[in-house]
Amino acid sequence: MKPIFANSAFVLAPERLFLRGGAWRRVPLKVRYGFFRHPTAGAVLIDTGYGPSVTQGPRSLTLRLYNRVLGPSLVADGQPEPVLRRLGLKVEDVGTIIVTHFHADHVAGLNLFPKARIVAKAEVLRTILKQSAYKNLRHGVFSELLPADLASRVEDVDGVAVREAPLGLGRGRDLFGDGSVLAMNLPGHAEGHFGLCFANLPVPLLYAVDAQWCAEALEEGRRPGFPASLIAHDPNALAESARRVLAFRQAGGAVLLCHDPAESRYDLAAEVP
Ligand SMILES: [Zn+2]
């Protein structure tokens, strides 16, 4: 049950912003989201990437500004609908979406899936829905991107059993009750941020989402400082999460990050024209 990852958009950012000692040159970061087929749960998405709900149509002024600052270039054939079509599926076939955290680049496509069950941190969502737009904005969250009935479709990650992950990664939440996909808390980037460990692959994979933005930045001494530390929810916890992810890789695991500009073996191959 190997996951594959599509790229919804590119965001140009100076390398130095996400890699200590990096160049000033702007590098196209990817905005990945994942897909896998679970034997009983069926088609599952991991987040949804960036989509048109961020870049066009009626939006709040703050979301317009956010879009202007980050300037994502959407990848048309990397959006969920064409990607699912390539995989022989329709949006209605996606029964479950795992939401690793509620930043715009992870939830912008949730409105495409009005029927899907959402696996996420219920407590974090409750907090988002009750606090002011301003407070959410300070945490990079736009509640206008969240479907109105989201809370009623959420299944709490923290409500399922705990199981030991491989290679000393620690204990995670066994999302499907079969040990195949474990939700691993990786605090620091955003409130409740977690990654996913695909524990039964020949080489276990940790999708570490936004624990850093590129693989080299996991290394001690390459983690970015200011101003990246400003964006972090908790810089100390972020550094500790990066250490855990790195230790997993050093123990023989594979690691994938959402925004890493490098191609990975888990990426859906570009469509041949
Ligand atoms: Zn994020």
pLDDT at 231 over 80: no
pLDDT at 42 over 50: yes
pLDDT at 272 over 60: no
What average pLDDT does the structure give for the chain?
A: 94
Can you give the pTM of this predicted structure?
0.96
**46 C-alpha vs ligand 1 centroid, how far in Å?**
13
**139 C-alpha vs ligand 1 centroid, how far in Å?**
10
273: confidence class by pLDDT, cuts 50, 70, 90: very low
Please tell me whether the peptide bond between 261 and the residue prior to it is cis, using omega within 30 degrees of 0. Answer: no
**94 C-alpha vs ligand 1 centroid, how far in Å?**
23
What is the mean predicted confidence (pLDDT) over 108-135? Answer: 95
**180 C-alpha vs ligand 1 centroid, how far in Å?**
24
**105 C-alpha vs ligand 1 centroid, how far in Å?**
7
**189 C-alpha vs ligand 1 centroid, how far in Å?**
6
Q: What residue spans define the domains of the chain?
A: 4-257
Percent of the chain with pLDDT over 70: 98
DSSP strand E in the chain: where? 4-14, 26-38, 42-46, 73-74, 94-98, 117-120, 154-156, 162-165, 170-174, 181-185, 194-198, 205-209, 254-257
**127 C-alpha vs ligand 1 centroid, how far in Å?**
17
Provide the pLDDT for residue 269: 84
**54 C-alpha vs ligand 1 centroid, how far in Å?**
15
Tens digits of residue pLDDT in 55-98: 999 999 999 998 888 889 999 999 999 999 999 999 999 999 99
Structural element, H or E, at residue 171: strand 170-174
Name the one residue in this structure whose structure tokens are 């980037």.
Answer: 189
**190 C-alpha vs ligand 1 centroid, how far in Å?**
6
Tens digits of residue pLDDT in 179-214: 999 999 999 999 999 999 999 999 999 999 999 999
Matching CATH number, 4-257, of 3.60.15.10, 3.30.497.10, 3.40.50.1260, 1.20.810.10: 3.60.15.10
For residue 213, list its beta bridge partners.
Answer: none
**141 C-alpha vs ligand 1 centroid, how far in Å?**
9
**272 C-alpha vs ligand 1 centroid, how far in Å?**
30
**166 C-alpha vs ligand 1 centroid, how far in Å?**
25
260: confidence class by pLDDT, cuts 50, 70, 90: very high
Which distant-in-sequence residues (6+ apart) come within 8 Å of 154 by Cβ?
118, 119, 120, 122, 125
